[in-house]
């Protein structure tokens, strides 16, 4: 059993894909252990995207992620970290495999519909940014 942090990004919220995206995760057998609608602040963005600070796309990414609400979720399941990233598809939606969430619902490399943690350490770190333990129901 693993937990991973998923964000349904502001583009997908604005495009009304919340239901479709959640359905994809449910169809793949993941459990929604936590979920909330919220707006990312620059401070939260700097914590969450710490590894990307200083990269050429960072400022645009933060502008996009903080401009409108997003949904934060904890998904649980066997190998959830790797499997959710497979369901999400490649970062660049043009390179994402058919049937993946990014192929179906993303607008661009930045506005790519969803986020998912990429390792056990990052999943733990990212979940703690968005949720306290009493808000998570495995």
Nearer to Mg ion, 5 or 21 (CB): 5
Binding test (CB under 6 A) with ligand IDP, winner from 15, 66, 110, 122: 110
Per-residue binding letters, 71-100, with ligand IDP (x by CB under 6 A): --------------------x---------
SS3 31: strand
Contact predicate 3/136, CB 8 Å:
yes
Q: Is residue 115 annotated as part of the catalytic site, yes or no?
A: yes
Q: Cβ distance 100 to 131 under 8 Å? A: no
The pair of structure tokens assigned to 51 is 């590894």
Nearest to 7 by CA among 96, 98, 111: 111
Q: What does 122 interact with, of ligand IDP, Mg ion, none (CB < 5 to 8 A by kind)? A: none
Q: Which one of residues 40, 101, 112, 123 is an interface residue with ligand IDP (CB under 6 A)?
A: 112
Q: Which amino acids are annotated catalytic?
A: 115
């Amino acid at each position: 059993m693993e937990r991973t942090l998923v964000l349904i990004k502001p583009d997908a919220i604005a495009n009304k894909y919340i239901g479709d995206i959640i359905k994809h995760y449910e169809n793949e057998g993941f459990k929604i252990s936590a979920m909330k609608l919220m707006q990312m602040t620059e401070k939260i963005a700097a914590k969450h995207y710490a590894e990307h600070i200083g990269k050429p796309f960072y400022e645009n990414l933060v502008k996009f992620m903080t401009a409108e609400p997003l949904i934060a979720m904890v998904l649980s399941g066997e190998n959830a970290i790797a499997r959710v990233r497979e369901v999400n598809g490649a970062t660049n939606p043009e390179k994402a495999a058919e049937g993946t969430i990014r192929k179906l619902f993303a607008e661009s490399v930045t506005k790519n519909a969803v986020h998912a943690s990429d390792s056990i350490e990052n999943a733990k770190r990212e979940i703690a940014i968005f949720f306290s333990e009493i808000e998570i129901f495995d």
